[in-house]
Amino acid sequence: MRVGLGFDLHRLVEGRPLILGGVAVPSSKGLQGHSDADVVLHALTDALLGAAGLPDIGTIFPDTDPIYKDRESAYFVKEALRLLKEKGLRPWQVDVVLVLERPKIAPFREKIRSNLAWLLGIPEERVGFKAKTTEGLGWGEEAAAAWVTVVLKDGA
């Protein structure tokens, strides 16, 4: 087995959709970035790549390349999974912590969890997903962040 840890953070801005774990979440603000800026899927991509001993998301999919402009972040996850398969690895389990003050994520929790399981091709029981706030103590009003841990197993 191999374990990987991914992290991502993006600023909240007006005029962008809020996409988290591949799910559109109604909000007056979205995440700023070159792609759709989905912090959950970006952190997941980095965790997958790291567990496989591969370079990070910014190295493989640089934000200086116009091909990735406004791209859905599921693309990065799928490409990471393709690279894992080439190495004889597959995802076994994932655990996600999302930090965001608003909007409340509870109504979207199961949809995000289900989408993560589908993207990874694993049962939902192996997907952990928690949403936390900063309790009004800091950047939670200005940005969203995600930490993701993955476990990979041999056998593509």
Mean pLDDT of the chain: 95
| Cis upstream peptide for 66 (omega within 30°) | no
Average pLDDT over residues 22-32: 96
Please tell me the predicted confidence (pLDDT) of residue 104: 92
User: Which tens digit of pLDDT belongs to each residue from 65-94?
Assistant: 999 988 999 999 999 999 999 999 999 999
How are beta strands 89-99 and 143-154 bridged, if at all? antiparallel
Give the predicted TM-score (pTM) of the model.
0.96
For 123, the token pair is: 């049962």
DSSP 14-73: ETS-EEETTEEE--SEEE-SSS---HHHHHHHHHHHHHTTPPPHHHHS-TT-GGGTT--T
Determine how many CB atoms are found less than 10 A away from the CB of residue 123: 9
User: Rounded CA gap, 54 and 60, in Å?
Assistant: 9
Question: Do 49 and 87 form a contact (C-beta atoms < 8 A)?
Answer: no
Domains in the chain with CATH codes: 2-154 (3.30.1330.50)
Please tell me the predicted confidence (pLDDT) of residue 156: 56
Please tell me the predicted confidence (pLDDT) of residue 130: 97
Please tell me the predicted confidence (pLDDT) of residue 60: 96
Average pLDDT over residues 127-142: 87
